[in-house]
Structure 1
Amino acid sequence: MNTPAMRRYLLINPNTNALTTQRLRDVLLPQLPPGVQLDVQTARFGAPYIACEASHAVAAHACLDLWTSHRGTPEQALHGVLIGCFGDPGLFALREASGCPVTGLAEASFIQAAAHGPFAIVTGGERWKPMLQRLATSLGYGAQLRHIETVAPTGAALQADPKMAIECLSQACQNAAQSGVASIILGGAGLAGYARLLQAHCDLPLIDSAQAGWEVLLQQQAPAAPSKHDGFYAPWVGLPPDFMGVPTRG
């Protein structure tokens, strides 16, 4: 009897904070279905938390860097890639280059929230508001995103102080609920698992961005040997060997 092949997924934390990576592992690994492997990796360079345009841009490069070194072979191909940041750095580049499905915490959350109707976002870091509005618009969810409630502490600060996070995020969710939305996304890899803790404090459905990312990725169909279709459209100069090893298309 032939044993079904293991389905291999890659989860990339685009910041350099190992505690964020561990939180993603703690929340998602216990939920793996049989026959599924999730490889969770931390960015090899960049910022310890992503909270501005520059750190977001570098994080996109860090995502590509990890993908090139963990994409596998046709015999051990990736079946999907999840960008573990609520901002999805590198989403479009990875989707273009990879032969397997790619999504991010923000896009996946938008998909789930939009099923309820108009939605709001609660997240840490005040500079995220225009960045998330732009991302939602580029993904086709701009009209349904009605409100973004940012709290002053960054996602990293919230992660480091759970008691403060519960108090701060609870008030933020109550504020967001007053905007006439049908659901609220609790966005941020460092906030994985908090939606369940906060649900008792909010009458609207709370969507955990990490949970949403994993659920949406698993629902997508992948080719049997996706890495055969990986490829960039330009040759590289001065980048690591793993970049050079990805085929060039066209």
Structure 2
Amino acid sequence: MRHLLVINPNTSVHVSALLQSHAQATAGPQVMVRTVTARFGAPYIACEASYAVAAHALLDRWASALQDDQPAPDAVLIGCFGDPGLLALRQGSQAPVTGLAEASFHEASQYGPFAIVTGGERWKPMLERLAYTLGHAPALAGIHTVVPSGAELASNPEAAIGLLAQACREAAERWQVGAVVLGGAGLAGMAAAVQAHVAVPVIDSVQAGTRQALAQPATGVSHNGFAIAWEGMGEALAALGERKQLLQV
């Protein structure tokens, strides 16, 4: 049996439960999904500061997850639409790593130009920067953010579906795209209901992330760790830095 580690880099156990449920349903019974939650940071990532802290929280929780009495992961999924810490974790993880946004960009681009719909106005420049960094900027036609945050949308799914369906329909028509990404861990499972109101495919970011995480090839990294000696970090993360240093001596 394969093992997928999903890391929620915010502190919301409700979001972690959504990730666990929808990732496991997508992965199927042949995969064991384990979702862990950040030890510190924000309950919802909604700005540059909370995004920066989430990257640290991601690395910290990954390091501690490796020390748990659980099988080593075959793949790692960052359970945030924005992928904080993606490139850093990818450098240190023996298992392949992807995030909800990266996986969604990849899947949506198979249909041609795509748009994004997500909650929280501050996410627009952050997602534009991420798309550019990951090489998906040419295919990204536009980003439509709705005023409620992902956490607020998740707290009232019935009202959220109507708002998101309208936003996805407007995005598809405005930019004439081949697909729309409905981005956000808190929006997991809503794409199916939204799809009935939109003429192009609506990509569920959690489903896309799970599929992409399990489809990735091995990284070629032979050890979990980093080539740096940390100071003032949590014990698990500090140990991975020290371990890498010793291996390179």
CA RMSD in angstroms, aligned pairs only:
1.7
Cα distance in 2 for partners of 1:212, 1:95 equals 18
Match of 1:3 in 2: none
Equivalent residue, structure 1, for 2:180:
184
1:34 Cα offset (Å): 4.3
Aligned pair count reads 242
1:146 maps to amino acid: A
Instruction: Specify the SS of the correspondent of 1:22.
Output: helix
> What's the counterpart of residue 248 of structure 1?
244
Q: Deviations over 1:3-36 (max 9, x none)?
A: xxx3222101111111111111221223433442
- Paired-residue identity, %: 53
Q: CA 1:227–1:136 in 2, change beyond 3 Å: closer, same or farther?
A: closer
Structure number having the greater helix percentage:
2
Mean alpha-carbon deviation: is it higher for 162-171 or for 240-249? Answer: 240-249
Question: Does 2:226 align with 1:232?
Answer: yes
* Runs of at least 5 residues in structure 2 that lack an aligned partner in the other structure: none
Contact 2:181–2:202 under 8 Å retained in 1: yes
* 1:76 shift after superposition: 3.7
- Give, in angstroms, the shift of residue 164 of structure 1: 1.6
Match among 103, 110, 114 for residue 108 of structure 1: 103
CA displacement at 1:123 relative to structure 2 = 0.1
Unaligned runs of 5+ in 1: 1-5
Name the TM-score, length of structure 2 as normaliser. Answer: 0.92
> SS at 1:235's partner residue?
coil
- Distance in 1 (alpha carbons) for counterparts of 2:202 and 2:127: 18
- Residue 143 of structure 1 corresponds to 138
In the TM superposition, what are the counterparts of 1:1-250 in structure 2 within 5 Å? 6-71=1-66, 76-178=71-173, 179-222=175-218, 228-246=222-240, 247-249=243-245, 250=248
* Deviation of 1:228 (Å): 4.8
Measured against aligned partners, the alpha-carbon deviations of 1:86-114 in whole angstroms (never above 9, x if no partner) come to 00000010001111100000000000011
For residues 35 and 169 of structure 1, the distance between their equivalents in structure 2, rounded to whole angstroms, comes to 32
TM-score, reference length from structure 1: 0.92
Consecutive aligned runs of 4 or more in structure 1 exceeding 3 Å deviation: 31-35
Change in CA separation of 1:161 and 1:76 when aligned onto 2, cut-off 3 Å: closer
User: What SS does the aligned partner of 1:78 have?
Assistant: coil
Which amino acid in structure 2 is aligned with residue 216 of structure 1?
Q
Question: Matched residues in 2 for 1:30 and 1:208: separation?
Answer: 13
C-alpha distance in 1 between matches for 2:25 and 2:165: 26
Secondary structure (helix, strand or coil) at the match of 2:148 reads: coil
* Cα deviations by residue, 1:80-139 (Å, 9 ceiling, x for unpaired): 110000000000100011111000000000000111100000000000000000000000
**Alignment partners' CA distance in 2, 1:30 and 1:144:** 29
Q: Is the 8 A contact 1:71 1:227 kept in 2?
A: no
